[in-house]
Structure 1
């Protein structure tokens, strides 16, 4: 099966040997997005709410570059440095997703790059 690499200037560029997303057939695997503004290349980390919104804006940009949108997301993995932020994550997710919601895992991690509080990766299914 042929793979195609997805890239957009509307989300932060990969900072290592990986792609923003890879499409394989009708499935797109989105790399983890951090709350980094693609224009300034700086973290958006004044509040956890600001971080979560930026992560979902970045995921939306990559999904759109792949030819889809967040409504086509089937699985999300959220990595949080503090699981006490889960209710905030849930509330903000409700602003970006409608039923039927994607499957999701939320995992506490010891740390994330640049001292950020959240990273989210996903799987998108296209028609």
Structure 2
């Protein structure tokens, strides 16, 4: 099976030994995206909705670099450190997608890298 590594400077560089994304079997597997603005290296903002928007923008940039888009998203996983923010994050998330929506899981975690409130990963069809 052929695999390709996808990288773009329109999303933050990986902070560890992993790729921004890999292509395999006609799918793009996007690593968890923190809410980092690649132009500044800083978090997009202090609150979960603002961070979710930046994480999704980063995923969209990676998808574009692979020749696809969020419109072809198959599965998303949203990690939040405070599930009481679910409604606010969901409202932001809804602005990035339209029907048919991708499958999704939302999981509360005790902590995320660099103290983020949100991290999102994706599987997107090519």
TM-score normalised over the length of structure 2 = 0.96
Q: Are 2:69 and 1:81 equivalent residues in the alignment?
A: no
Instruction: Give the aligned CA root-mean-square deviation in angstroms.
Output: 0.9
Match of 1:45 in 2: 45
Q: Are 2:11 and 1:11 equivalent residues in the alignment?
A: yes
Aligned partners of 1:26 and 1:39: how far apart in 2?
30
Match of 1:90 in 2: 90
Number of equivalent positions: 126
Match of 2:108 in 1: 108
Aligned partners of 2:118 and 2:3: how far apart in 1?
28
1:91-125 deviation line (CA, Å, top 9, x unaligned)? 11111000000000000100011211000001001
Runs of 4+ displaced beyond 4 Å: none
List runs of 5+ in structure 2 lacking aligned partners: none
List runs of 5+ in structure 1 lacking aligned partners: none
Aligned partners of 1:112 and 1:72: how far apart in 2?
27
CA contact (8 A) 2:11 2:62 kept: yes
- Mean CA deviation greater in 86-95 or 10-19: 86-95
Give the drift of 1:25: 2.8
